[in-house]
Structure 1
Amino acid sequence: MTQPPHDEPTARSQEELREQVEHTRQELGDTVQALADRADVRTRAREKAVAAGEQARAKATQLAHTVEEKLPEPVKQKSAAAAQGAREKAAQADQVWQDKAPRQVRDHRAALLAGAGAVLVACLLIRRRGSR
């Protein structure tokens, strides 16, 4: 913080002095906040990473549209068919999982309950040791 030059007039009244003090406090607070923001390297790096990621996504989208426009029609049709096939296989796999999962849970109910009980006991023991 710098001192004002001595040739500046000082406050003429207590009210002017209070205003000067308040103004100085405000400036000091702003300066401290600016320094704190500069010192917060982690937040600045995170902000830069987010901005770079957004920029990369925008460029990738733009590039994908450009490539898609330049692709010949047969290639577009093949890629659309491949994407449809992948969606169908994913839907089939999801259906298989939904069909099998409940049966597997029923078949291994005892083991699942024993595992859950063991986890509960371990949590209680850890909690009890931590409170001593």
Structure 2
Amino acid sequence: MTHTPPDQHSTPTPAELREQIEHTRRELGETVQALADKTDVKARAQQKAGRLKEQAAVTAGELKAQAVKASSQVQDKLPGPVKEKAAQAAGQARAATAQVGRMWEEKAPEPLRQQVARSVQLTREHRAVLLLAAAGVTVLWLAGRRRKG
């Protein structure tokens, strides 16, 4: 439907008037919807947060891939005795951690243990947010290093 303006000397027909009214109504509806979209701050913030979350996930994936690659390269270059010592050290660290955990259970006051347990639970519940924040800090840190170098 093309909108043709009537001649200056002719009177529009009822069908032409209805078409003009419908065209104006559609344009007005589209304009109102566009304005409503611009004023919906919550929806715009959610969209931006979604985009940032996607970007952070992509960046985190890239960083993880780079870390895995670098770790693999380093492990490939390590001699056998160094790998054995690293495995021993890791075992000793696990044993020491377990021992500290047992001591904590035996000697820490109950209110403090409860508070720590709540903190651990909150951390587990909000792991995604913490990971995104860590990824963001890492990206900023890497960007800062690139600018300096």
Provide TM-score, normalisation by structure 2: 0.42
Provide TM-score, normalisation by structure 1: 0.47
Q: Which has the higher contact order (CA 8 A, sep 6+)?
A: 2
